Structure 1
């Protein structure tokens, strides 16, 4: 099943739940707690966190390198 079809079916299910009155809607406090819980779970995976840090460092280094190269080209 392609992604578009899957999304359409899920959307219909969500709409039906709302019409029926059985759909759950997060309030801001509940959403905050869920996000915090997910963040704690992800941060326990040290290897994953190290990979994220490496990617951020590489991205920052690349941006810095491009900025320096851009400055040199402008001076020529």
Structure 2
């Protein structure tokens, strides 16, 4: 990039993310993620979470086929059964 060209937002974000990841560990990201989740739950109601859950479900269902859901359903059922047997 020449000195007179501006950096795109995408490029600036990528460079900033790379620099941040070099300076912080997994615990840092978990902590800021938790803080963000708490702030979001403080600022939004149940309907908000229902809407984003619905959107996420639609996006996921468009991406994965029937076999994916069958497999994760079986895994979940087996894990639950193990918990109930104990």
TM-score normalised to structure 1 length:
0.44
TM-score normalised to structure 2 length:
0.40
Higher relative contact order (CA 8 A, sep 6+): 1
Greater Rg by CA: 1
